[in-house]
Amino acid sequence: MARPIRVEFEGAVYHVYARGNQRRSIFLNDSDRKLFLDTLREMTRQYGIIIHAYCLMPNHYHLIVETPRANLVQGLGWLQVTYTVRFNRKHQRSGHLFQGRYSAQVVESDEYAQELIRYIHTNPVRPHNRNKEIAGERKKELDDYQWSSHRAYAGLIEPPEWLSLRWMEYWGKKPITAHNNYINFIDSAFGGRLESPLKHIRGGLVLGNDQFMDRIKAMISAKRGKEEKRWMAEAGMEKIRNLINQLLERETDHRIKMWIRVRLGGERLTDVGESMGYRDGSGVLQAIKRLEKASQRDNELFMKLTSLRNQVNLSSVKS
């Protein structure tokens, strides 16, 4: 199995997620949940890792952590190994508890803190079908749920000493204002479908804007390992795919759309033909050739195709 890419730097923020092996429960009862939180507390003291939010579910957990010492791998590795040993000893079992390595995405907090916290905190009441709305009557259920940091953010309980509420400042400078704004923000998710901010993760690793992505890419590129090189190549392709999708959204001429998909995007003729109503790929190829021949006589069309190609080529170089 390829090792996961880990980006570590001082002050980095991560969304960390891990599920049970074969999707089995990692908490069999409330005593296990307390054991995990006690182990989490020990990790914060031993490694100086800051916990901004958490949510424990039957077969997985979510954490938002910050690493002032750039030691995510060391701290989270200790957490999972230690909890597994304690869980196995308690339940007289052996073997793996978690499904492989934990997942960790580096997060641009100013951009995604609020949405990410809301998504994690509403985990216990969101329907399994993510296309369904969160029922309004489940608000009390969320407020009663003991195994997340939601109640501390809502001002319903005193937070444990190891939980940082510094991110409450995203909802207001004064505590009472921040709590009220946070509650309103959470309440706005009920009666509607909540989109996951995790769908915006780039390259399976980064949740942030273009500048943040470029910063992370520079760190990964400097490592020059096999997996780092593979990730850089995939991240570059993702950027090009996103650009091509933007070009297609703006384009109204279906001939040019086919040209973009085949000549710039490298899509198969049969796939393009099927999606655009052609019997097979040969019809698409003939249409593209006619377009390119027409561009030799039409200077405006020639300049447009040249501009589109240059945009994609420039994006490839910058990647």
Tokens of 277: 């109503």
Domain limits of the chain?
12-215, 238-318
CB atoms within 10 A of CB 178: 19
* Kind plus residue range of the DSSP H or E element containing 200: none
Asked whether residue 306 carries a pLDDT value surpassing 50, the answer given is yes
pTM for the predicted model, two decimal places: 0.71
Beta-strand relationship, 60-67 and 50-57: antiparallel
At 235 the pLDDT is 52
> Of 82-96, 172-186, 262-276, 296-310, which gets the smallest average pLDDT?
262-276
Q: pLDDT digit string (tens) for 195-222?
A: 899 888 887 788 998 888 888 878 777 6
Asked whether residue 316 carries a pLDDT value surpassing 60, the answer given is no
Q: pLDDT digit string (tens) for 228-273?
A: 445 444 455 566 677 788 888 888 998 999 898 888 877 788 888 8
- How far apart CA 147 and CA 33 sit, in angstroms, is 7
Percentage of the residues of the chain whose pLDDT score is greater than 90: 58
* CATH code assigned to 12-215: 3.30.70.1290
Asked whether residue 90 carries a pLDDT value surpassing 90, the answer given is yes
